[in-house]
């Protein structure tokens, strides 16, 4: 290609510096085949000063400028070191071709073709050096771009995480005015699409199943309405039972719940209790409200059918009304905090707005922090051992209640370990705490000595881990690598085993000492608090485990933890052992209680049903390194659960949906085992569900008759078209509530995680 020549009167422009110089005749340019290569950086060449040939040079360092050696760098012995190139910006992915040229120039490297004339390159050696540097920089840019995963232009995630098995971010579920995060039990429904599809179709087509469920709903509403008692601020605390009944209920509470979540100081509570019965009219209203809440919690384990359910609900409503009455400042006391703790616990277990306890818990957390319970008493001036220990116990209880309420709501735990510095309570019995400044302070006993606070100390050890775990589970911003789930699983397994071992050791030691403070009830409740976290941890990965064996471990952990929890509920195969002390109270708690004592078992049963359904669908391939659970054992759990869910209805629960779903899953499993077609499977599930709905209707009729509610329409055995009932929409996850839930709609969930083979228009009606 012919080169164009400039006019002799026009000075040529230097390509690198932009400066002009005297023009050279073509002959002179052609005669000078080689010139001395410069050894100075660009800044020194422009200023025409001596360069020290360092990177950066001394003059540039003093001037505060970052420069590099020019591309015409000699390959002599004094300049063989390649300068360290600064890393390109991580604000975007690998730059385009034009952007790369710009980034090369920013390093002081000119993009020059090796085929240019020798007058520009000076030598073939220099050309090879330039090409090598350009190729090297491009290689580093590509490695750097591939080594980071950029998201939202801000967060930088290492490639080692982006190349692992990612688990999708929790998307949550919208329920009318509420949002349920990943830890909420309702997120398991995506694993049972067939059952929900058929039940939604029954709603849309107004089938026999729909009409029976409508009658169940109508009689359930009448039962709940009959349980309501009129509330008045003028009659607070005037509906207590007789002394004999109150003694039994108080003893039930102190021997069960108080051993796990320390709220009251038992000797002080006993003294106030005796003074109350001596003169009920002179009792402090704060103690009366505490007493009513203790009676409500004790009534759960009082008998097999929770016969005092209506009275317990009334006591809870009165306590909540009293706490909200002015002046609110008068409740900012230790007694007020104790009443709040009892209220949160009673609302959850007795079914008085149990799905809204997280909202109530927020008020309790702020009240406690306003009173300084989150600070260790040693920072708050001089106080007695009694007052300091009560504050520590209450704060430990608030942390645990807050964690459990957040888990139930699928929400943030509101607190982190950096928000408080209060230490754990001392391992002391209540009779060792005296509200006096005189005398020596009691020294906490060793942790292996059983006391009334031992179980709380064992549970609180794992609190930082569970707080962090719940925060990660319900974080909707991003997914998490599967390796992180495995790491958290390892830590959670360790603390669960340590908890069981420590409490069991304390039980053995207390028998040697002749004491009886820690029962199997305390151990079972403590294990429920910890073992339930396996479900939330692996729930986001189990949906992939049936098609991708990389997530097989999550599938096994969900099933194993479900069987562990169901064993506590007595739903697995019984073992020939003598019933342990306190297990009768725990059985009544899981039969009569609501909140976590209902939802945990239902969620565990869903995991068992999903495993059996997938095994019958020939989608279960064992990897060989984990023992497989036999079909008879899993089926026995569902068979036992069918009776358990029905017993809950007979005990006064007004919602039989859990029973219907268990029976629907059994019908699905039996149909798959018989090798039926898809249409026959759907019909088998529907017929099984209709039968279970009829049984629930009869059980609700028995409850209505026992509580004095008219139920002739529902007990007739025929499907009666009740006015305004059969024509009303019936939402399986919404209108017909789980407990006191006001519905769960899956419209948003369906958009983010659509079910295969389900009409998407039905999901909005669930």
Reported as a single tens digit per residue, the pLDDT across 63-91 is 665 444 444 443 333 434 444 334 333 33
| CB atoms closer than 10 angstroms to residue 341 | 24
Q: Output the average pLDDT for the chain.
A: 76
Q: Give the dihedral of Cα atoms 335, 341, 346, 347; nearest 10 deg.
A: 120
Question: What's the pLDDT tens digit per position in 587-639?
Answer: 999 999 998 898 899 999 999 999 999 888 865 444 443 444 556 788 999 99
Pairing type for strands 166-167 and 480-481 reads antiparallel
Residues 6+ apart with CB under 8 A from 154: none
Q: What's 13's DSSP letter? A: B
φ, ψ at 255 (rounded to 5°): -90, -5
- Which residue is it, tokens 């116990």? 393
Q: What would the mean pLDDT of 646-675 be, rounded to a whole number?
A: 92
Cα–Cα dist 268/647, whole Å = 38
Give the pLDDT confidence of 163-219 residue by residue, as tens digits: 445 565 556 677 667 777 778 877 777 788 888 777 767 666 677 888 898 899 999
Which pLDDT value is given to residue 134?
A: 77
- Domains held by the chain: number: 1
The answer to whether 750 and 366 have CB atoms below 8 angstroms apart is no
Q: Does residue 328 sit within a domain?
A: no
Mean pLDDT of 264-284: 94
The secondary structure of 462-514, three-state, reads CHHHHHHHHHHHCCCCCCEEHHHHHHHHHHHHHHHHHHHHHHHHHHHHHHHHC
Domain carrying residue 691: 181-228+549-710
DSSP state of 158: E
- 614 within a domain of the structure (yes/no): yes
**Mean pLDDT for the stretch of residues 718-730:** 39
- Reduced to 3 states (helix: H, G, I; strand: E, B; else coil), residue 179 is strand
Q: Of all helices (H) and strands (E), which one includes residue 181?
A: none
Residue 199 contacts residue 688 (beta carbons within 8 Å) = no
- Residue 565 sits at the vertex; the CA angle it makes with 562 and 571, to the nearest 5 degrees, is 95
Q: Name the residue with higher pLDDT: 764 or 34.
A: 34
The predicted structure's pLDDT at residue 55: 67
Q: Contact, 543 vs 555, CB < 8 A? A: no
Q: In the prediction, which pLDDT does 182 show?
A: 79
Q: How far apart are CA 55 and CA 44, in angstroms?
A: 12
Q: What is the DSSP string of 677-742?
A: -HHHHHHHHHHHHHHHHHHHHHHHHHHHHHTT---HHHHSSS----TTTTTS---TTTTS-STT--
23-32, 483-492, 522-531, 725-734, range with the lowest pLDDT: 725-734
Tokens of 745: 């709609």
Q: In 153-308, which residue ranges form alpha helices assigned H by DSSP?
A: 159-162, 193-205, 208-227, 243-255, 266-278, 285-300
Residue 348 placed within a domain: no
pLDDT of residue 522: 95
Q: Which helix (H) or strand (E) holds 166?
A: strand 166-167
- Say if 32 falls within a structural domain: no
Q: What is the pLDDT of residue 745?
A: 35
Over range 86-104, report the average pLDDT: 38
Give domain status of residue 592, yes or no: yes
> Who has greater pLDDT, 720 or 146?
146
Q: What is the pLDDT of residues 7-43, one digit of tens each?
A: 444 444 444 444 444 444 444 444 455 566 666 777 7
Q: Could you give the maximum distance between any two Cα atoms of the chain, in Å?
A: 125
Alpha helices, H only, 55-123: 58-63, 97-106, 118-121
Helix, strand or coil for residue 579? coil
Whether pLDDT at 709 is above 50: yes
**Residue 114 and residue 131: Cα distance in Å, rounded?**
7
User: What is the rounded average pLDDT of the residues 470-489?
Assistant: 85
Supply the pLDDT for residue 144: 60
Beta bridge partners of 41: 69
Task: Tell which wins on pLDDT, 107 or 678.
Answer: 678
Q: Is 462 contained in some domain?
A: no
The mean per-residue pLDDT over the stretch 471-489 comes to 85
Which tops the pLDDT comparison, 83 or 220? Answer: 220
Burial of 138 (C-beta count, 10 Å sphere; 0-12/13-18/19+):
middle
Q: What is the mean pLDDT of residues 561-567?
A: 93
Do 359 and 405 touch, CB atoms closer than 8 A?
no
Which is more confident, 543 or 101? 543
CA distance 312 to 490: 41
Distances (CA, A) of 571 to 357, 565, 586, 647: 27, 9, 13, 13
The β-bridge relationship of strands 155-158 and 148-151 is antiparallel
pLDDT tens-place string over residues 508-532: 999 888 777 899 999 999 999 999 9
Does 165 fall in a domain? no
**Could you give the CA distance from residue 340 to residue 361 in angstroms, rounded to a whole number?**
9
Looking at the domain assignment, is residue 700 inside a domain? yes
Q: Distance (Å, rounded) from C-alpha 58 to C-alpha 470?
A: 55
Lowest mean pLDDT among 64-68, 227-231, 347-351, 531-535: 64-68
* 407-458 residue pLDDT tens: 988 888 889 999 999 999 999 999 888 776 655 566 778 888 999 999 999 9
């Amino acid at each position: 290609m012919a080169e164009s020549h400039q006019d002799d009167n026009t000075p040529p422009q230097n390509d690198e510096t932009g400066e002009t110089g005297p023009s050279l005749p073509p002959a002179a340019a052609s005669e000078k085949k080689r010139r001395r290569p410069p050894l100075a950086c660009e800044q020194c060449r422009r200023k025409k000063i001596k360069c020290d040939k360092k990177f950066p040079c001394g003059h540039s360092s003093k001037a505060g400028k970052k420069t590099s050696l020019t591309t015409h760098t000699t390959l002599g012995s004094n300049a063989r070191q390649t300068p360290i190139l600064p890393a390109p910006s991580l604000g975007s992915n690998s730059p385009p071709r034009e952007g790369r040229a710009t980034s090369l120039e920013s390093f002081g490297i000119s993009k020059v073709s090796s085929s240019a004339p020798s007058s520009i390159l000076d030598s073939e050696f220099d050309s090879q050096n330039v090409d090598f540097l350009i190729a090297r920089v491009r290689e580093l840019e590509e490695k750097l771009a591939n080594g980071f995963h950029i998201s939202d232009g801000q967060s930088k995630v290492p490639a080692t995480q982006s190349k692992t098995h990612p688990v999708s971010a929790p998307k949550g579920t919208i329920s009318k005015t509420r949002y349920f995060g990943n830890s909420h039990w309702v997120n398991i429904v995506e694993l049972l699409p067939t059952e929900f599809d058929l039940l939604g179709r029954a709603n849309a087509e107004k089938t026999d199943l729909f009409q029976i469920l409508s009658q169940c709903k109508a009689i359930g509403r009448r039962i709940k309405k009959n349980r309501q008692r009129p509330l008045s601020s003028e009659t607070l605390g005037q509906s207590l039972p007789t002394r004999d009944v109150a003694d039994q209920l108080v003893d039930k509470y102190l021997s069960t719940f108080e051993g796990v979540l320390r709220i009251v100081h038992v000797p002080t509570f006993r003294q106030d209790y005796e003074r109350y019965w001596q003169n009920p009219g002179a009792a402090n209203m704060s103690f009366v409200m505490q007493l009513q809440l203790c009676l409500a919690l004790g009534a759960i384990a009082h008998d097999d059918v929770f016969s005092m359910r209506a009275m317990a609900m009334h006591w809870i409503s009165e306590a909540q009304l009293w706490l909200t009455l002015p002046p609110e400042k008068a409740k900012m006391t230790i007694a007020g905090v104790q009443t709040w703790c009892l209220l949160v616990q009673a609302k959850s277990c007795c079914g008085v707005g149990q799905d809204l306890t997280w909202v109530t818990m927020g008020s309790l957390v702020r009240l406690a922090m306003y009173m300084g319970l989150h600070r260790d008493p040693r920072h708050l001036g001089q106080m007695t051992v009694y007052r300091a220990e009560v504050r520590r116990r209450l704060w430990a209880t608030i942390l645990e209640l807050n964690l459990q309420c957040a888990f139930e709501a699928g929400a943030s735990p509101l607190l982190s370990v950096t928000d408080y510095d209060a230490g754990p309570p001392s391992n002391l019995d209540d009779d060792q705490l005296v509200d006096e400044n005189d005398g020596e302070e009691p020294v906490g006993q060793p942790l292996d000595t059983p006391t009334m606070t031992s179980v709380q100390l064992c549970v609180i050890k794992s609190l930082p881990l569970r707080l962090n775990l719940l925060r990660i589970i319900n974080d909707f911003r991003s997914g998490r690598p599967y390796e992180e789930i495995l790491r958290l699983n390892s830590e959670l397994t360790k603390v669960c085993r340590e908890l069981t071992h420590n409490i069991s050791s304390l039980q053995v030691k207390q028998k040697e000492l002749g004491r009886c403070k820690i029962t199997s009830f305390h151990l079972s409740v403590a294990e429920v608090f910890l073992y339930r976290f396996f479900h939330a941890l692996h729930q986001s990965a189990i949906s992939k485990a049936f098609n991708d064996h990389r997530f097989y471990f999550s599938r096994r952990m969900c099933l194993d933890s479900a069987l562990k929890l169901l064993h506590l509920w007595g739903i697995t195969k019984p073992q020939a052992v003598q019933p342990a002390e306190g297990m009768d109270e725990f059985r009544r708690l899981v039969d009569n209680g609501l909140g976590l004592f209902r939802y945990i078992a239902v969620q565990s049963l869903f995991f068992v049903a999903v495993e059996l359904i997938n095994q019958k669908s020939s989608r279960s391939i064992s990897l060989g390194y984990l023992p497989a659970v036999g079909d008879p054992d899993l089926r026995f759990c569902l068979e036992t659960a069918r009776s358990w869910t029905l017993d809950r209805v007979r005990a006064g629960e007004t919602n039989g949906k859990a029973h219907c779903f268990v029976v629907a899953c059994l019908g699905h499993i039996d149909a798959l085992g018989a090798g039926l077609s898809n249409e026959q499977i759907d019909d088998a599930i529907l017929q099984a569900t209709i039968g279970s709905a009829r049984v629930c209707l009869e059980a609700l009729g028995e409850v209505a008759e026992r509580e004095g509610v008219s139920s002739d329409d529902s007990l007739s055995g025929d499907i009666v078209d009740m006015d305004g009932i059969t024509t009303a929409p019936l939402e399986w996850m919404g209108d017909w509530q789980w407990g006191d839930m006001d519905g769960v709609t899956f419209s948003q969930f369906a958009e983010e995680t659509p079910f295969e083979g389900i009409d998407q228009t039905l999901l909005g009606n669930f």
